[in-house]
Amino acid sequence: MAIRERVETMATKNELPPPGVRIREGGAARAARTRWAWWTATFFGSGLLKPGPGTWGSVAAMAIWYFALQGLHLTGGAASAVTLLGVLAATAIGIPAATVVERESGNQDPGFVVIDEVAGQWLTLAVAPVEIGHALLGLALFRLFDITKPWPARQLEELHGGTGIVLDDLAAGIYGLLVMLVIRIWW
């Protein structure tokens, strides 16, 4: 398959282009990518994994949350504070990164952009005890709300660029956080 045909096929399937290639509407290719944005938006490549790049981004976020907090021996309020700082950082850096990648790929809300899953996943885990059972429960809850997108998550998705890409997942993260708070009372 010729390179141009492959790029056109990738454009119609919402796939990540090869390094140095930018896909535009209609499949026309152009060189250049903004590296920091692509590394951030794909969360260091986890969004490139198949199938289900969003789930892989969430798994990566959950694993980093769990092992980092375990390694630092953080629990309770300290763990929550560090997690919320991570949410703020992922959001502050993720919105512009997602905006750049959306523009450069020529695809609206590309599936390989998973920094939004990272921010939402960490928000769900912000009050969870640093235990593997709670981490897995938080992963399942966040994915449930991210996939079903209850109101207003679906409406937030319609916002322009990286803002819509990230905010709908933060809404899903809030739903997961609320369920985690209720579960924490009994578990």
In the predicted structure, residue 21 carries a pLDDT above the cut 60: no
The answer to whether 172 and 149 have CB atoms below 8 angstroms apart is yes
pLDDT tens-place string over residues 111-145: 899 999 999 999 999 999 999 999 999 999 999 99
Q: Give the total number of structural domains in the chain.
A: 2
Query: Do 85 and 173 share a domain, yes or no?
Result: yes
Name the token pair of 60: 């990566």
CA distances from 15 to 6, 29, 72, 104 (A): 10, 13, 37, 13
**Which pLDDT belongs to residue 7?**
47
* Strand, helix or coil for residue 28: coil
In the predicted structure, residue 17 carries a pLDDT above the cut 60: no
Query: Do 83 and 25 share a domain, yes or no?
Result: no
Strands (E), 90-167: none
Query: Do 130 and 155 share a domain, yes or no?
Result: yes
Query: Do 74 and 8 share a domain, yes or no?
Result: no
Confidence class of residue 13 from pLDDT cuts 50, 70 and 90? low
Give the global pTM: 0.80
Lowest-confidence region among 77-81, 118-122, 158-162: 158-162
Average pLDDT of the segment spanning 7-15: 54
Q: Which domain holds residue 72?
A: 34-186
CA distances from 185 to 48, 83, 88, 127, 129 (A): 37, 20, 26, 11, 12
In the predicted structure, residue 164 carries a pLDDT above the cut 90: no
